[in-house]
Amino acid sequence: MKIAAIQMRSGTEPEANLAALRPMVAEAAAARARYVLTPEVTMAFAENREGLARVAGPFEDNPWLAQLSALAREHQVHLHIGSMAVALEDGRFANRSVLFGPDGAIQTTYDKIHLFDATIAGLNTYRESATYRGGEAAVTAQVDDVTLGLAICYDMRFPALFNALANAGAQVLVVPAAFTVPTGQAHWHVLLRARAIETGSYVIAAAQGGQHANGRATYGHSLVIDPWGRVISELDHDEPGVLLAEIDLAAVDDARGRIPALANARSFTVAPPLSV
């Protein structure tokens, strides 16, 4: 199956982001991609919580969902919006991934589970959980004969999620992201290759890239990794673009047969320290 990962430089206005997305989905469809993945915060990369509240509506009757549905239907592709902010009843937001089928129907959704809450020396405390509510459930989805395992950005640092997805049948792990430049340079390739190797899965990562209107800079480098951990396709820059690759499920079976880590895994306990 041919897939596409779209690299974007989303701004703060959904209308402009949708306008930028349309020709790239058309390009992917013209190249016969069956599955098209976009980055995290595709529809709006807001500057702050107030900006997010201005553009993010509830999931029901969301006008952007209607237009994205029509875009999937127009090009007859499985269109996977890596994430968009959805207003929740408690005043926070869900960072929600939405997969549309070629008929425009929503096949599944996934809310980002892991949220970045940290106190970093010399910097302000950052609490993503003050703005977003984390999801509770891992999600797989079917695209033709391929089973996807869904994740979003910071999720990639938690291998237990990817092992759970692979054990649930996922052959392809998808990671839309908006990775910062310093962490991208240090960790992007290493973490994603590790997730592919330890599960014997393809990894597709669609990224935001470049300097955004909200003042943030993201790393770009959208890529596709095979189940042996090899980068088979990459946009080696931070400019918007369409990345294409072929997925062959035989490679998943081969990798898992050669290194059956999923099958060989065992539960265990941690013994207390010996007293002396």
> Taking 80 as the threshold, does the pLDDT of residue 124 lie above it?
no
> Taking 90 as the threshold, does the pLDDT of residue 86 lie above it?
yes
Helix (H, G, I), strand (E, B) or coil at 145: coil
Section 88-110 average pLDDT: 97
Backbone angles phi, psi at 155, to 5 degrees: -50, -30
* pLDDT tier for residue 120 given thresholds of 50, 70 and 90: confident
Write out the E strands in 194-240.
Answer: 202-205, 209-211, 217-219, 223-225, 231-234
Section 20-48 average pLDDT: 97
CA-based torsion, 10, 58, 3, 150: positive or negative = positive
pLDDT reported for residue 276: 76
Residue 118, token pair as written in the block: 């940290």
pLDDT reported for residue 121: 73
CA-based torsion, 170, 172, 176, 180: positive or negative = positive
> Taking 80 as the threshold, does the pLDDT of residue 19 lie above it?
yes
The catalytic site residues sit at: 40, 112, 153
Q: What b/e readout covers 179-208, taking b as 16+ CB neighbours within 10 angstroms?
A: bbbeebeebbbebbbbbbbbbbbbbbbbbb
**pLDDT tens-digit readout, 146-190:** 999 999 999 999 999 999 999 999 999 999 999 999 999 999 999
CA-based torsion, 13, 18, 23, 29: positive or negative = positive
* Helix or strand holding residue 118 (H, E): strand 117-118
181-186, long-range: CB < 8 A, 24+ apart? 181/217, 181/218, 181/219, 183/219, 184/218, 184/219, 184/220, 184/221, 185/219
**Could you tell me how many residues make up the chain?**
276
Residue labelled with tokens 């994430």: 83
Average pLDDT, the chain: 96
**pLDDT tens-digit readout, 203-222:** 999 999 999 999 999 999 99
pLDDT reported for residue 21: 98
Q: Considering all CA atoms of the chain, what is the largest pairwise distance in Å, rounded to the nearest integer?
A: 71
> Taking 90 as the threshold, does the pLDDT of residue 98 lie above it?
yes
pTM of the predicted protein model:
0.96
Q: Please report the domains of the chain, with CATH numbers, ordered by start residue.
A: 2-263 (3.60.110.10)
> Taking 90 as the threshold, does the pLDDT of residue 49 lie above it?
no
How far, in Å, CA of 32 to CA of 228, rounded? 25
